[in-house]
Chain A
Amino acid sequence: AQKITQTQPGMFVQEKEAVTLDCTYDTSDQSYGLFWYKQPSSGEMIFLIYQGSYDEQNATEGRYSLNFQKARKSTNLVISASQLGDSAMYFCAISLVTSYGKLTFGQGTILTVHP
């Protein structure tokens, strides 16, 4: 079975600074997808960025980028130039080829951006 671990329950960052949120995963499958979602206090999950297990380049999407280290089974999210609106819960998730799109989520990291 696959597992996602986010070891940082909470993180703080100053506005305009960069922050890295950690995520490690455990799976014996070779083919999978890794996702990051943002959940503001309103409750809706917002898709941020995706990395495929066979992608050789680190994914980037605007201010979001991934530091994907396949051998270490980690996919850390980097948010550059933090904004107050980035304050939210962030979830890392994995989906296996064999799983009909089932997302397995980590426990989440609460990010607070200070002005």
Chain B
Amino acid sequence: ETGVTQTPRHLVMGMTNKKSLKCEQHLGHNAMYWYKQSAKKPLELMFVYSLEERVENNSVPSRFSPECPNSSHLFLHLHTLQPEDSALYLCASSQAAGPAVEQYFGPGTRLTVT
């Protein structure tokens, strides 16, 4: 595997379900990110992890719970979601959490909440 991978690629869940999104980076990076891309809205940053420590939480509802067990893995735990949470969830990684460092994105998980 190379780059940034995300599983699953597609997920349909009911509002009472609990599921998790997984992201893995094979680039030796130290920072990882979760973004949300809704229809007709710009990408929105959700969380930033630097060296496994959360450094940014962009006012995300508590029904989204991130976890970064090591610098290569990032999870997004989902519970009691709403239909408006349906979106493409993108994971990214970068060498460091800084302004002049390009981020490498995974293919995304297309989430549908029914």
Contacts and interface: CB of A to CB of B under 8 A. Distances in A.
A19 interface: no
Interface size class, chain B: 20 to 34
A99 B104 CA distance: 17
B105 A101 contact: no
Contact of B43 (A42, A44, A101, A105): A105
B13 interface: no
Interface of B: 31, 33, 35, 41-43, 45, 48, 50, 55-56, 58, 88, 90, 92, 94, 96-108, 110
A103 B37 CA distance: 13
Contact of B104 (A32, A47, A97): A47
Contacts of A43: 88, 90, 107-108, 110
B42 A95 contact: no
Given A101-B31, A101-B94, A103-B43, A35 B102 contact: yes
Given A101-B31, A101-B33, A102-B56, A44 B108 contact: yes
Contacts of A102: 45, 48, 56, 58
A106 B43 CA distance: 8
Contacts of B31: 100-101
A102 B46 CA distance: 9
A101 B90 contact: no
Interface residues of A, number: 29
Contacts of A110: none
A96 interface: yes
A107 interface: yes
Contacts of B110: 43
Closest 5 CB pairs between A and B? A45-B105, A101-B97, A95-B99, A105-B43, A100-B97
A15 to B, nearest CB: 27
A12 to B, nearest CB: 21
B102 A96 contact: no
Given A45-B43, A99-B99, A100-B48, 19 more contacts: A32-B99, A35-B102, A37-B105, A44-B107, A47-B102, A50-B100, A91-B42, A93-B43, A96-B99, A97-B98, A100-B56, A100-B98, A101-B98, A101-B99, A102-B48, A103-B35, A103-B43, A104-B42, A107-B42
